[in-house]
Structure 1
């Protein structure tokens, strides 16, 4: 039994002993550098060039940034997997990253798989350092910096539209970022903005004036709709419902019911034609029924899974297996993608990570001082889960969705250390005059 007034233990293993917190702008710069180098491109190239393993200056720059991040983490903190008992959530995240990286060894596209596997391990190492070293203000700086990056990207897309393909000429984006990826940036930034706008119980984490959040919300929402990405838009809507319902306790759930019913009614009456146009996006009934050929792709993916059901085809396999048959790279579904690349074993580990993350966040949301942040993270997780139906990014390395999934793990652990599962008084000693692990 838990003593009255005490928050229940959340660890699924013996309590781990985090190292002393080390605050600083590294917690903002390194994650953003990984995201931007992975997704922001100044050129476009065919999927065949990606799976072939050919590297141009852009790819070498991306690899170099990940390499510098690894060197920084090693010399600052000691870059290596944990050697002491850890929480169930961090254990699930490490198992997910390690298995995906290992599966690159039997991938038909070995070069692509190895690069992506190393990138995933570097990202997971960053998440682990954040989980054990970062402070809440570091994570909130990261959230605000991400909003600023999204707003600056919208400005770039408006001021200087880059050439687009025939399939994306009517959809908003910036640089050579695909509208689907751009929509993920906008959806996450919008959820963060709304969370900071309604932050009444923890206003100390609101770094800007409320009017700035309102303006940012309008810009981000308009840009998200302009991308024409239905999966991200639906995920963002679901995330907003979850965020509002959990961030403010019972009052928030009442607000969701009242405001949701009102907004839905007004939208249905006043904007029905525009809503239908956004959903259909000018496509035929056959295209809509097949989800832009995704159902055909998933049928091919399940046949590929049936051939290697236990361990999968290997990391990155889905990027090239279907190019000849249907012309699409990737499974366009996070769970189907995991089945093809990582088999039943990898899918079970991925599901365990998602379930553990959701469970811990739900427990943290019961704590009054943490529920605003926990509700925000639950909203973001809900957004990724729904968007994952038509986008494999959450289950793949080196993209905004996959990186944010591990950042959600890190942020959850920061919340746990903040109040959900107090840090032991005696921290592990790192040695005199150094920040590195013992």
Structure 2
């Protein structure tokens, strides 16, 4: 009996949330799809807790606005299939939408955690993730001779989630959420090197822009000695990245220029750049045919395959158009694209409001999470996947849930019946 009581004390709802949060922020770059299983499992557990009244829905205005935006996007995708009479063919492709629909459930359970505790978990778990990402990148790039994919199995996905971890370390160090700023800066450097090893050029750009924005958000603390120290640190980080990443950057730049030359002089669409250009041409043509509701999800795959055969004489097929908004425009038309944009607009608006009126470091850190997420996903989605990938979707929800809660949410008290978990 005493042993059972001890177990219950160690596995209170707050403790479970702590362990859950650690895994969600550590796993995306290092363990890949583990974040999907953990996040979905946690959301299903939240459904059960809400059903037995051990949790209550935590409904506040920022959370409600985000929920409406997410659900509008899911509705637009389903409506497109109904209009095109492809509901049965598209049904299997609706499964990723479930991850997005979990948002209000996860928010209600995650918000029982103290904000200060959650913010420190985000920072420290991201720090561990950056070091883990570097270890995997070194093995994959230098020992196996491949682009670093971490635990994600895809270089762009790995770079995207690693970029978020890097920004959390940088934001944690600058905001004062974690006083031990030196390990955080070192972790940010480790994550940045891992991203360079991924060879994902678009995420290099996202990392640069997101990093500048994080510095601007925390500019009030960068005065006097702090500004000089930051300048020296930034210079040191730049030199390390240049020394380690220069051969990789040159190699990837050479590939880009070579692909560009082949496309312009020979009309060669078989290269990485050529295939993307071909996909964009096919996608834009398909969008013009059905601009309002799109063609449905399954039909877009057939359109890609047929387009490659008819326009380029190639037998190729992809699951997306290597541009997040173009993919949605083909699948669900203008309505789908506007709904998808709405998710990021709401996140950015929630963050901007907090950054404009609040001086609370926890709230500003949460707003920074939202801003970094919007920047990373939108830039990464220009040449890759925006939503529809299990790791990216789960990580997006993790950051939107926690960022919204930390920025402007209210803590949810536990019902008395759940006091023992």
Normalising by structure 1, we get a TM-score of 0.69
Partner of 1:404: 395
Q: Judging changes above 3 Å, is the alpha-carbon distance between structure 1 residues 373 and 33 closer, same or farther for their aligned structure 2 residues?
A: closer
Which of 98, 101, 117 in structure 2 is aligned with 1:118?
98
Q: CA deviation at 1:336?
A: 0.8
Which of 351, 354, 369 in structure 2 is aligned with 1:364?
354
Partner of 1:8: none
Asked if structure 1 preserves the Cα contact closer than 8 Å seen for 2:350 and 2:404, the reply is no
Q: Judging changes above 3 Å, is the alpha-carbon distance between structure 1 residues 83 and 127 closer, same or farther for their aligned structure 2 residues?
A: closer
Quote the Cα distance in structure 2 between the aligned partners of 1:26 and 1:284: 48
Listed as ranges, the matches of 1:112-151 within 5 Å are 112-122=92-102, 124-129=103-108, 132-136=111-115, 137-151=117-131
Quote the Cα distance in structure 2 between the aligned partners of 1:357 and 1:309: 26
Which of 341, 344, 363 in structure 2 is aligned with 1:351?
341
Quote the Cα distance in structure 2 between the aligned partners of 1:357 and 1:143: 20
Matched, 1:77 2:53: no
Q: CA deviation at 1:237?
A: 0.6
Partner of 1:336: 326
Partner of 1:303: 285
Unaligned 5+ segments in structure 1 are 1-21, 42-57
Asked if structure 1 preserves the Cα contact closer than 8 Å seen for 2:158 and 2:198, the reply is yes
Partner of 2:166: 190
Quote the Cα distance in structure 1 between the aligned partners of 2:122 and 2:35: 20
Q: CA deviation at 1:175?
A: 5.1
Q: Judging changes above 3 Å, is the alpha-carbon distance between structure 1 residues 112 and 336 closer, same or farther for their aligned structure 2 residues?
A: same
Q: CA deviation at 1:161?
A: 7.2
Listed as ranges, the matches of 1:163-174 within 5 Å are 170-174=146-150
Q: CA deviation at 1:72?
A: 1.1
Asked if structure 2 preserves the Cα contact closer than 8 Å seen for 1:104 and 1:314, the reply is yes
Quote the Cα distance in structure 2 between the aligned partners of 1:69 and 1:190: 25
Partner of 1:4: none
Instruction: Provide, for residues 352-405 of structure 1, a one-character-per-residue CA deviation record: whole Å limited to 9, x for no partner.
Output: 22122112211111211133442343233212221221122x3325232x3333
Asked if structure 2 preserves the Cα contact closer than 8 Å seen for 1:311 and 1:344, the reply is yes
Q: Judging changes above 3 Å, is the alpha-carbon distance between structure 1 residues 332 and 64 closer, same or farther for their aligned structure 2 residues?
A: same
Quote the Cα distance in structure 1 between the aligned partners of 2:188 and 2:99: 32
Matched, 1:234 2:205: yes
After superposition, the CA RMSD in angstroms is: 4.4
Instruction: Provide, for residues 316-355 of structure 1, a one-character-per-residue CA deviation record: whole Å limited to 9, x for no partner.
Output: 6545642462433311111112212222112111222212
Listed as ranges, the matches of 1:136-285 within 5 Å are 136=115, 137-159=117-139, 170-174=146-150, 177-199=153-175, 203=176, 205-206=177-178, 209-249=180-220, 275-281=249-255, 283-285=258-260
Q: CA deviation at 1:98?
A: 4.4
Asked if structure 2 preserves the Cα contact closer than 8 Å seen for 1:243 and 1:376, the reply is no
Unaligned 5+ segments in structure 2 are 1-12, 309-315
* SS of aligned partner of 2:417: coil
Partner of 1:96: 73
* SS of aligned partner of 2:153: coil
Matched, 1:415 2:406: yes
Quote the Cα distance in structure 2 between the aligned partners of 1:338 and 1:415: 30
Q: Judging changes above 3 Å, is the alpha-carbon distance between structure 1 residues 170 and 215 closer, same or farther for their aligned structure 2 residues?
A: same
Quote the Cα distance in structure 2 between the aligned partners of 1:432 and 1:417: 25
Partner of 2:383: 390
Q: CA deviation at 1:213?
A: 1.7
Instruction: Provide, for residues 198-243 of structure 1, a one-character-per-residue CA deviation record: whole Å limited to 9, x for no partner.
Output: 22xxx3x317x33322331222111111111001111011100111
Listed as ranges, the matches of 1:30-45 within 5 Å are 32=23
Segment drifting more, 310-319 vs 354-363:
310-319
Instruction: Provide, for residues 58-102 of structure 1, a one-character-per-residue CA deviation record: whole Å limited to 9, x for no partner.
Output: 9xx999767643431112234999797853233223323444466
Count of residue pairs brought into register by the alignment: 371
Q: Judging changes above 3 Å, is the alpha-carbon distance between structure 1 residues 341 and 108 closer, same or farther for their aligned structure 2 residues?
A: farther
* SS of aligned partner of 2:150: coil
More helix by share: 2
Asked if structure 2 preserves the Cα contact closer than 8 Å seen for 1:191 and 1:380, the reply is no
Q: CA deviation at 1:297?
A: 0.5
Asked if structure 1 preserves the Cα contact closer than 8 Å seen for 2:294 and 2:330, the reply is yes
Asked if structure 2 preserves the Cα contact closer than 8 Å seen for 1:235 and 1:382, the reply is yes
